[in-house]
Structure 1
């Protein structure tokens, strides 16, 4: 009977699907029947052979179906491509006019980068093209969420995120002797990026590895509370206008615990340590210099400018200090293993230790990437969260009540269980990142031909998706002008959809998207959640100044106003 249903002619008459159904039923019945197989090796061998044939038929059938679908999809796309408008027709500002607009007195001369993108949208529409100059490629700019989805769902195995040319040059050319082809996550592309990400992903994206640092980061936050009390005005409770630097120090202290497996002491007795202060200054300079290198005409590719030379020197300093700290970590690990080999087996290794076990160079470069990417971004996100809570005292109080249920005393400690049970805290952070996003958008180089807003966009085109223009659009965020953490929570009415939840999943990506999303997301979220919980548990946070234009866009959005927050003690 099995042979009958496997016969090609019979299958062509009865149909492949019907034959497979009958075969499935027959095989299942035979396997369930103990009398059929018991003691009969010949029947068992025959059945096994026939089952292999069935599986082969299934595989061939599925391959055939997939091939048909793929062909249909290609034909459909070809028709859509032919019907779409040419790439050349995408609205464009002529290069000379664009250049004149950036000169003194020009339309864009004094505009922030994000304001410039909004001005281009007003003049050219929701999709436009910036012609490449000084060796830079064309850039297609779109404000359309449907385009966002098209681009991000077709970004390929190794998404290509343009930028970081200065850092890439430094690691690939200027200090090739040190990096030896290991360029890290920020600067690399393609298979090299994929190889590095594959090595570090299981360690940095694993929740249990991040939770290792909960107690140590919590201690940093307690020191930050003391620092605020120390620097605030005793009469007004207001901190100095350079509070942004204190936030940067807090962010560096927090991320260094993970990146360097070491507490630098920036919020306590070691804040004036020459090497520690030098590292802090170098990291801030790296960010400032990167803005010039990445956004201004790349003259440095043809002539080594003063800014370029300073950038190389700055990165030399970062490389030397971080390498030294990683070497110190290796010495500590080796001494610990030597002195206490039996007890050490019960201690979970740190993130740095796990990275060192993979490859010392990978560990060093990943530590650099975490430090370079984890200070200004964290400061900006935390500033945005403080601002919206200060301007929405009712939401701040609701958050404080959630925190106080879990931290009955100001010096109470978090544990894993209490930290998990804070939905409003996480909603507050998500909503603040909507109102004050870290970036104006995201960039990719298209991995394939695609159609965006009805235009043909060929493979290898640089594309900028701008979601900053959508944050105040009620079509995507109902009541978009309000700070509503509740939009990120389930509806309070059972079996009813939250009426203010976001209308699209493709309108904001605070930590990036897909394979190229921020690898330090879990670490940064824990830093900020623990930090804000400790702050609202200890202080009422106020800000008595306007928050319009609170941020400006450089590589990403950074504070643009003095951060003179008022921190008044909570009574109990």
Structure 2
């Protein structure tokens, strides 16, 4: 809690402007607990008898439709304030929305050695029950918690989070980016416009990039007659993400299947049970991802590359000498590394098309760093592209691909002045916070300059000042996105290559954003790519 808030609360409590400064700058822990308000007093929508609050998420009936969760979160903030509780949710923990970056920082700073991230119990079931014979004890980092998570993460951190490792992939990622630039030439129509399925083309680029990084294999996703596994994998990943919120937020009837002895009894009737049809689709999608991934893992294990050219799988094998660890990490990379990156790139291109003045500034920077549009990348050139990074950060501030993250409390905490019990799911809805004037000046404007060390708007000092926990598109702390460095490299490279070769325009109605399954423009990205001379 910052000093100003602490001072305000002490004054309010004492009903006096005379305050002991020791109390302002240091509040004993016992006082924090003594003054904490009961959990039951946290404001939020009231549950109905029997139905609780689950009814709010029922399709066509409830007011909380998943694709509009960004707008719902904003309404919760405006109606109830900086801390909001949605309780009495059948089959899942209470949800606590926190819209205060001071309190978010407070939670992160206090987190345990093994923080619990409230992520996908259905995936936990898939890994630890349904396909336990495949995953065993090393189930990866996604939907895994406790000592198993810590053990696995410690094995792969050296490969995934070291900058020097990421830099070894600059050349292959650049090669794939250039192939995508060439593909744009092929898929443009006579008006230089791409078709409405352009986002799917970005999925192909992202899948090809992940395959190269994770396995050192080329899938041929960007070829005219693409590998049939390409679209199968993309569709399966999309299905996975679409079904996660449906299974976890709505009435989670799939949990009746969590006992492996019960599941076979349901198998013959599963098609007749509408309530668990989504679960079957979800399981089939995960099986498809696993089967396709394993097909190429087996080929990758036979590759013998120099240390510089090794895939992530090979690097992990060299460090840990455990094939299962390397395979599960590769699978997790395919699972969450495709849709997230491609949707981010689509959103960035769309915003630059809408803001031609910012695109021009970026083009001038790229022209200075890459005098020849076919100039090759290296680490030094990437470091010089500061405005490019600012444009990426600004897009992810306004439109974060994953609109929030969070933690499940592993012990009782005091948050926002309330006593929060163990087992509550805390949600940090950065999409709301980072679009609030309180935390970002001119928050409704697209201003990449706010992220530059030397902001050109000297008359607006507040523009470059923001709370470090008000925008966290990759999360924070021990459970921060494991593939962040690779995602940064992929996004920076593809945007730089496209903008160096094309001017990007958009000539249709302005698109709203929605969650499906990532936070993305709601409509076809019919962008126009004009070749630069």
Tell whether the structures are fold-level matches, with TM greater than 0.5.
yes
| Match of residue 175, structure 1, among 131, 138, 145 | 131
The CA deviation at 1:102 is 4.2
Aligned to 1:231: 187
What is the Cα deviation at residue 111 of structure 1?
A: 6.7
Contact 2:45 2:86 in 1 (8 A): yes
Contact 1:91 / 1:127 at 8 angstroms: preserved in 2? Answer: yes
**Could you tell me how far 1:310 is from its partner in structure 2?**
2.5
Q: After superposition, give the CA deviation of every residue in 1:118-150 in whole Å (9 maximum; x if it has no partner).
A: 233333333221113222111111212221111
Stretch moving more, 365-374 or 323-332: 323-332
Q: Where does residue 285 of structure 1 map in the other structure? A: 239
Distance in 2 (CA, whole Å) between partners of 1:158 and 1:132 is 27
**Equivalent runs, 1:83-482 vs 2, <5 Å:** 83-96=35-48, 98-103=53-58, 104-108=60-64, 112-234=68-190, 236-269=191-224, 271=226, 273-303=227-257, 305-333=276-304, 344=306, 347=308, 349-357=310-318, 358=320, 359-482=322-445
Work out the CA distance in 2 between the residues paired with 1:411 and 1:396: 19
Shift of 1:211: 1.5
| Residue 565 (structure 1) aligned to one of 521, 527, 532 | 527
1:545 CA displacement: 2.8
| CA deviation map 1:432-465 (0-9, x unaligned) | 1111112332110123332222211123321112
1:278 Cα shift?
2.5
TM-score normalised to the size of structure 2? 0.86
Q: Following TM superposition, by how much is the alpha carbon of 1:540 offset from its aligned partner in structure 2, in angstroms? A: 0.6
**Paired residue secondary structure (1:251):** helix
C-alpha contact (below 8 Å) 2:455/2:464 kept by paired residues: no
Shift of 1:565: 0.5
Specify the alignment match of 1:53 in structure 2.
none
Distance in 1 between residues matched to 2:455 and 2:54, nearest whole Å: 53
Instruction: Report the more deviating stretch, 415-424 or 493-502.
Output: 493-502
Output the CA distance in 1 between the equivalents of 2:517 and 2:29.
35
Offset of 1:495 from its aligned partner? 12
Distance in 2 (alpha carbons) for counterparts of 1:154 and 1:270: 52
Partners of 2:422 and 2:517 in 1: CA distance:
25
1:76 and 2:28 aligned: yes
Aligned residues: 486
CA distance in 2, matches of 1:98, 1:129: 11
Does the CA-based 8 Å contact 1:250-1:266 persist in structure 2?
A: yes
Aligned to 2:449: 486
Larger radius of gyration: 1
For residues 433 and 298 of structure 1, what CA distance do their matches in structure 2 show?
A: 31
**Alignment partners' CA distance in 1, 2:328 and 2:189:** 41
Tell me the alpha carbon deviations over residues 129-183 of structure 1, each in whole angstroms, 9 at most, x when there is no partner: 1113222111111212221111111111111111211211111011111111111
Q: Out of 452-461 and 386-395, give the one that drifted further.
A: 452-461
1:529 aligned to 2:495?
A: no
In the alignment, the residues of structure 1 paired with residue 422 and residue 449 of structure 2 have an alpha-carbon distance, to the nearest angstrom, of 41
C-alpha displacement at 1:493, in angstroms? 8.1
8 Å Cα contact 2:53-2:89 kept in structure 1: no
Q: Which runs of 5+ in 1 are unaligned?
A: 1-72, 337-343
Contact 1:240–1:564 (Cα < 8 Å) also in 2? yes
Q: Distance in 1 between matches of 2:495 and 2:237?
A: 24
Contact 1:154 1:448 in 2 (8 A): no
Displacement of 1:196: 0.8
Taking a change above 3 Å as real, the CA distance of residues 498 and 118 of structure 1, as seen in their structure-2 partners, is: closer
> Which residue number in structure 2 is paired with residue 12 of structure 1?
none
Secondary structure of the residue that 1:129 maps to in structure 2? strand
Corresponding residue SS for 1:237: coil
Task: Deviation per CA, 1:493-521: give whole Å up to 9, x if none.
Answer: 89999642132111110110011111111
CA contact (8 A) 1:163 1:294 kept: no
Question: 2:100–2:433: 8 Å Cα contact kept in structure 1?
Answer: no
1:350-403: CA deviation from partner (whole Å, max 9, x where unpaired) = 322111232211111111111111111112211221122111111111111111
Q: Would you say the 8 A contact 2:124–2:143 is kept in 1?
A: yes
C-alpha separation between the residues in 2 aligned to 1:468 and 1:109?
17
Q: Which residue of 1 aligns with 2:273?
A: none
Residues 167/348 of structure 1: CA separation in 2 closer, same or farther (3 Å cut): same
Please tell me whether the aligned partners of residues 154 and 447 of structure 1 are also in contact (alpha carbons under 8 angstroms).
Answer: no
2 CA distance for matches of 1:459 and 1:106? 28
Alignment-derived partner of residue 8 in structure 2: none
8 Å CA contact 1:161–1:445 kept in 2: the answer is yes
- Root-mean-square deviation (CA), in Å? 2.4
Change (3 A) 1:428 1:527: same
CA contact 1:86–1:455 (8 Å) conserved in 2:
yes
Q: Is the 8 A contact 1:209 1:351 kept in 2?
A: no
What are the ranges of 5 or more consecutive residues in structure 2 without an aligned counterpart? Answer: 1-24, 258-265, 267-275
TM-score, structure 1 as length reference? 0.80
Alignment CA distance shift 1:140-1:205 (3 Å)? same
